């Protein structure tokens, strides 16, 4: 207990000399109602401060008596940083392109689709390797997964009827085509050597007839839905090599079976 009696006639009473009840001594000339507060914070702040200190000590004791899981603590801090918008330091962000929220969703879908097509590509490559299918090439492009057959694999020169031995080759890839659950386009291509027959007046008719016959084979023999299949003939106008030699012309005489990506269903081959 502390007492202090200044010349003003005020006595301070209390356990804390800085926070005390103020009383006016009898006979003093102090103005007011007789009970005044010393300058400083309100009186209730003393009790409040003591309570907060005790609560803090209590939780410190609890923490010291408990065992802390370091992994959970790191997870908690990561979650806290994310909720507070705290990011780690790094290089200055470069100028980029603003992306709409819908475009972000499309980007995520495209990324997942790309992974699916990579799995499809590997499945077909495994089939080609396991069955030693010569003349069959597999690759991904902007349209989707392209399964390419050179002319001699499926057709005789100048003909559009599928060879009997070629049907066994097509049968090998049927499971992958069906499991893709996607639109499939069969594309016929020729070289630039003109053809003039009663059946095929030009390379347009030959390339289209070959693509149609492959589509009809899948529909008639393997019960593909007609709504999931399409055929296209491009004649000599989509070459993959210059038509300047027999070897290059042989590359251009081909049939492509394309498992289409969602955004590529209306795209033409380049």
Structure-block tokens of residue 145 = 């997964």
Tokens 């499991």 label which residue? 179
Q: Are strands 229-233 and 184-189 parallel, antiparallel or unpaired?
A: parallel
pLDDT value at residue 20 = 44
Strand partners, 14: 2
Output the six-digit token pair for 234.
């491009």
Q: Which conformational region is residue 24 in: left (phi greater than 0), alpha (psi within -120 to 50 degrees), or beta?
A: beta
What does each of the 270 residues of the chain score in pLDDT, given as a tens digit?
444 445 545 444 444 444 444 444 454 444 545 455 556 667 788 888 888 998 988 877 777 766 656 666 666 566 655 544 545 555 554 555 555 545 544 544 588 899 999 999 999 999 999 999 999 999 999 999 999 999 899 999 999 999 999 999 999 999 999 999 999 999 999 999 999 999 999 999 999 999 999 999 999 999 999 999 999 999 999 999 999 999 999 999 999 999 999 865 555 666
Parse the chain into domains and list their residue ranges: 2-64, 115-264
Q: Is the dihedral of CA 18, 23, 27, 31 positive or negative?
A: positive
Instruction: Confirm or reject CATH 3.30.1330.60 for domain 115-264, answering yes or no.
Output: yes
> What residue has token string 């053809």?
195
State the residue for tokens 């995520």.
108
Residue 243 CA to residue 255 CA, distance in Å, equals 17
Residue 157 is predicted with a pLDDT of 92
């Amino acid at each position: 207990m502390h007492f202090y009696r200044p010349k003003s006639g005020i006595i301070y009473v209390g356990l804390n000399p800085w926070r005390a009840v103020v009383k006016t001594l009898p006979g003093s000339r102090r103005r007011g109602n007789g009970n005044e507060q010393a300058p400083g914070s309100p009186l209730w702040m003393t009790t409040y401060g003591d309570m907060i200190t005790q609560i803090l000590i209590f939780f410190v004791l609890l923490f010291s008596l408990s065992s802390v899981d370091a992994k959970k603590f790191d997870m908690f801090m990561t979650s806290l940083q994310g909720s507070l918008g705290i990011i780690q330091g790094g290089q200055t962000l470069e100028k980029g392109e603003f992306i709409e929220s819908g475009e972000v969703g499309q980007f995520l879908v495209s990324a997942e689709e790309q992974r699916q097509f990579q799995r499809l590509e590997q499945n077909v490559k495994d089939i080609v390797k396991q069955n030693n299918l010569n003349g069959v090439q597999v690759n991904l492009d902007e349209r989707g997964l392209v399964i390419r057959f050179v002319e001699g694999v499926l057709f005789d020169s100048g003909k559009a009827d599928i060879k009997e031995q070629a049907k066994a080759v097509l049968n090998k890839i049927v499971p992958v085509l069906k499991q893709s659950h996607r639109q499939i386009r069969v594309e016929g291509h020729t070289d630039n050597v003109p053809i003039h027959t009663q059946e095929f007046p030009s390379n347009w008719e030959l390339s289209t007839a070959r693509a149609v016959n492959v589509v009809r084979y899948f529909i008639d023999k393997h019960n593909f839905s007609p709504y999931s299949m399409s055929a296209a003939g491009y004649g000599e106008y989509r070459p993959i090599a210059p038509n300047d030699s027999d070897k290059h012309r042989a590359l251009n005489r081909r049939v492509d079976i394309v498992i289409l990506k969602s955004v590529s269903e209306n795209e033409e081959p380049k």
